[in-house]
Amino acid sequence: MAERRLYGAVAEFATPDALLEAARRMRENGYTKMDACTPFPVHGIDRALGIPHSRLGYIVFAGGLTGFVAGILLQWWTGAVDYPLLVGGKPLFAFEPSIPIIFELTVLLSAFAAVGGMLALNRLPRLHHPLFELEAFRRVTNDRFFLAVEAADPKFRPDETKALLESLGAESAALVEEEG
């Protein structure tokens, strides 16, 4: 009952340079929906695949701003509004002694936003991905560099795409299916 459909074509490369070169050539050939899976970040791959700049910075800025405002409100409201308590003749609220906690909360919420935002943008955690069906893909976290062309790509023709990948120096290429 679970219908299988094609996820795409995947090729395996032995070096980051071979992968980069293949990614560029595929793009020259008009492919747009591609992904590369590598054991470490390969620099230049984002341009070769047309990956835009990460927008994570905006999320972190929002998180940091929240922490900053929360730090001010927390110290002002508890100390000067909800329970005013005079200690050593100091003002009930002043910026100078509030800065350490404002700073710490800014950093704390920025860090939460950075990690949470990164995971959300990457749609992680996820339980499965069609690429994990491929036995060779186990080496993606070791020493192999994979280039995938998704079936959703308008130029995708299963056998043609696979043959093109093979001609670009891949160690091997395969078609991968996913649950429908």
Partner 1 sequence: MADVALNRPLQLDPPLVEGNPTYSQITDDVAGIVERKPPREWYAAIAVSGLLTLVLGASIAWLLYKGVGIWGNNQPVAWAWPITDFVFWIGIGHAGTLISAILYLFRQKWRTSINRAAEAMTIFAVMTAGLFPLFHTGRPWRAYWLFPIPNLDLSLWQNFRSPLMWDVFAVSTYATVSILFWYVGMIPDLGTLRDRTTGLRQKIYGFFALGWRGSAWHWNHYEKAYLILAGLSTPLVLSVHSIVSFDFAVSIVPGWHTTIFPPYFVAGAIFSGFAMVITLMVLARKAYRLEHLITLNHLENMNKILLATGSIVAYSYAVEFFTAAFSGNPYEQYVFMNRVVGPYAWAVWIMFFCNVFAPQLFWFRKVRRSIPAMFAIAIIVNVGMWFERFNIIVTSLHRDYLPSSWGMFTPTLFDFLTFFGSLGFFLTMFLLFLRYLPAIALSEVKAVMPAPANAKGGE
Site string for partner 1, 124-163 (x = CB under 8 A): xxxxxx-xx----xxxxxxx--------------------
Angle between helices 95-121 and 56-76 (to 10 degrees): 150
Q: Decide whether 112 or 175 has the Cβ nearer to partner 1.
A: 112
Distance CA 127, CA 141 (A): 17
Site string for partner 1, 40-79 (x = CB under 8 A): xxxxxxx--x-x-xx-xx--x-------------xx--xx
Using the rule CB under 8 A, give the single segment among 1-9, 85-93, 155-163, 172-180 that binds partner 1: 85-93
Exactly one of 9, 117, 151, 153 binds partner 1 (CB under 8 A); that residue is 117
Among 116, 72, 63, 129, smallest CA distance to 98 is for 72
Q: Decide whether 51 or 157 has the Cβ nearer to partner 1.
A: 51
Q: Decide whether 151 or 168 has the Cβ nearer to partner 1.
A: 168
Number of H helices, E strands in the chain: 5, 4
Q: Decide whether 16 or 162 has the Cβ nearer to partner 1.
A: 16
Determine the longest span between alpha carbons in the chain, in angstroms. Answer: 81
CB 57, CB 166: distance < 8 Å: no
Under DSSP, is residue 141 helix (H, G, I), strand (E, B) or coil? helix
Query: Any contact of residue 32 with partner 1 (CB under 8 A)?
Result: no
Closest CB 176 distance from partner 1, rounded Å: 12
Exactly one of 4, 29, 95, 104 binds partner 1 (CB under 8 A); that residue is 104
Among 37, 6, 23, smallest CA distance to 151 is for 6
Strand 145-150 with 4-13, pairing:
antiparallel
Exactly one of 5, 90, 95, 160 binds partner 1 (CB under 8 A); that residue is 90
